[in-house]
Structure 1
Amino acid sequence: MTQRELEIIEIIRNNPFVSQQEIADLLKITRSSVAVHITNLVKKGIIRGRGYVIDERDHVSVIGGANVDIVGYPFEELRKADSNPGEVNVSIGGVGRNIAENLAKLGNHTKMFTVVGEDVHGDKIINESEASGIDMSHVSRVSEYGTGTYLAVLNKENDMDVAIASMNIFRKLDRKYIDENRQIISKSKVIVFDTNLEEDVLHYAVQLFKDNKLFLDTVSHTKAMRAKKVIGYFHTIKPNRMEAEALSGITISGKEDLEKVAKYFHDEGVINVFITLGEDGVFYSDGRNSGLMKAKRIIPKNATGAGDAFQAALVHAELNMMSIEEKTRFSMAASIMAMSAYTTINPEMSVEKIEEIMKNMEEK
């Protein structure tokens, strides 16, 4: 918002029935200028209806997983049943939390709703997430379980050899927790769900907040199925090819099938459908416009955070009222930005950097 818009909002907040001429007199500008600002504020969804009711929704809520990733890298060939010299990296992750950090880096007021343990890993998640700009004030800390932990051992080629996911704590991401935070979540401009929630909790929360714009991150083929019965409540979904097939029951072998899958989701109630196809690009549809968008192939430094960046960029694009094509291009550029760093989340992630990548995409 501009400084003038902020001044007008403050005047309206103090007197919702103030006239445009009174606003003009207070700010010493013309009434026609006030009318233009009011129109822009209505278009942005910040004020609505007669009497200038201010929509106090000022944040994005992300409901989902936050965990610690512990990854071991051997220096030589991995020897089973033995101690291997190497390095161990400890970082914070979780699909929901990663989406929240990308959203914050794009300049969005973002609140995270998740559970962590009363342990050092919980401290690490909260402290580092707050440092990245996420509001973690509503995160629940529980003593019954340890913080969600993903432990992986890689081979010499840096591919996963074996891993253990300790995620029992998400049993506490339950209906009671959702109810306790109902008021603040309901005031969100957008609510993003990942499917780390148990199926019954996901269904409960989705129906509870059905009047909000809901975005879904499917996480994985198996977890995506938790959302099948409530898929129509979502404004925007972003499955990959396998997840889209599983959710729709339609096999995808070409663009015609992608159109059929999109129609299935639109008929269920979904507004925007994005199906990620790896190297084949992204299929997009809003029921009126659809297409397949590709970007120049790159060699990623780390591809693990590409989907999280894409999801965050979709939310940012929606909040900035981009067209379906612009949303796709912006989000693909965010994915490229994510893959250009060795870390899961690119520390340089920003709208400006994404726009630079978009310019390069257009030039090519």
Structure 2
Amino acid sequence: SLSQGGVGRNIADSLARLLGTPPLFLSAIGDDGLAAVLEPRQSTPLTIHAVRRVPGCRTATYAAMHTSDGEMQAAVADMEVLAHITPGYLRTHADALCLAPLVVIDANLPAETLQWIASGDVCGKGIAMRAPLWLEPVSVPKAHAAVVALRGDLSPISLVSPNEDELLAMTEALQGNGVYADDTNPSADSSTAHMDGSDDRIRGAAAALVRAGVLHVIVTRGAAGVLWARRAEDGIGVTFEEMPALRAAV
């Protein structure tokens, strides 16, 4: 089956449905037939009027194969068009970004764009962007790449929302930048995280992101629920809260 998607679009669509007011959605699509799939529907107030349309490019697609019990077996993605989400394109919407109460970005963005947003130069003239910045890691490779792009300085990020494997990939990248300081062995193969991981290891990895500057780390853990890590009130330690998974009907 074919459906609208993309992590950023799904977040924007959910916000539009919850708030009843469409957020400003910035992205890039091609000029092919698949672009029509992303046209607004009556069931959602989300609009794509600000999305960049790139002549000669293919709209981003993600195809996944699942087993009969719903587990993903293989996937392939074509995301080349997203390279056109450049600082130059985003500058045309700088006024809206500077006035926004929240800015959500995902790790599909090119490294140059991630660096520009994190630099605080979005508003220009030395005016810092005041909105909290939420980074959605998207996938294990892109979670790692985002930390590398930011050179291990995650202080511009207010909130990050990885799953367990993405979390471990981010701490691996921190270690590569020489800023990881924990005894939870983040360099272990993230593909085995669910087999050899532990609550202590996940907590240690979340704490590493907090120490790297992130204000809030929200780790989604499937049936295990959600782990929330943040700086303790003393400004030194890290506080954790766990929330159970909600029952869902599929």
The answer for the alignment partner of 1:244 in structure 2 is 167
Is the 2:40–2:47 contact (alpha carbons within 8 Å) kept by the matching residues of 1? no
Report sequence identity in percent.
Answer: 25
Is the 2:217–2:229 contact (alpha carbons within 8 Å) kept by the matching residues of 1? yes
The answer for the alignment partner of 1:166 in structure 2 is 78
1:112 maps to 2:25? yes
Rate the CA distance shift 1:117–1:286 in 2: closer, same or farther, 3 A.
same
Alignment of 1:144-159 (within 5 A): 144-152=56-64
1:137 maps to 2:49? yes
CA distance in 1, matches of 2:94, 2:32: 26
Which 10-residue stretch deviates more, 130-139 or 184-193?
130-139
The answer for the alignment partner of 1:182 in structure 2 is 94
Alignment of 1:209-358 (within 5 A): 209=122, 211-228=130-147, 229=150, 230-249=153-172, 250-251=184-185, 253-288=197-232, 289-295=239-245, 333=246, 336=247, 339-341=248-250
CA distance in 1, matches of 2:75, 2:210: 37
Task: Structure 2 unaligned segments of length 5 or more: list them.
Answer: 123-128, 173-183, 187-196, 233-238
**Paired AA for residue 242 in structure 1:** D
The answer for the alignment partner of 2:177 in structure 1 is none
* TM-score normalised by the chain length of structure 2: 0.74
**Paired AA for residue 28 in structure 2:** V
Which is richer in helix?
1
Deviations 1:290-346 (A, max 9, x none): 222223xxxxxxxxxxxxxxxxxxxxxxxxxxxxxxxxxxxxx4xx5xx534xxxxx
Is the 1:118–1:147 contact (alpha carbons within 8 Å) kept by the matching residues of 2? yes
Tell me the matched-pair count.
Answer: 211
Rate the CA distance shift 1:285–1:156 in 2: closer, same or farther, 3 A.
closer
Offset at 1:158?
5.8
Rate the CA distance shift 1:268–1:153 in 2: closer, same or farther, 3 A.
closer
Is the 2:32–2:57 contact (alpha carbons within 8 Å) kept by the matching residues of 1? no
Task: Structure 1 unaligned segments of length 5 or more: list them.
Answer: 1-88, 296-332, 342-364
Offset at 1:165?
2.0
**Paired AA for residue 3 in structure 2:** S
SS at match of 2:138: coil
* TM-score normalised by the chain length of structure 1: 0.52
**Paired AA for residue 196 in structure 1:** N
RMSD of aligned Cα (Å) = 2.5
1:121 maps to 2:30? no
**Paired AA for residue 240 in structure 1:** N
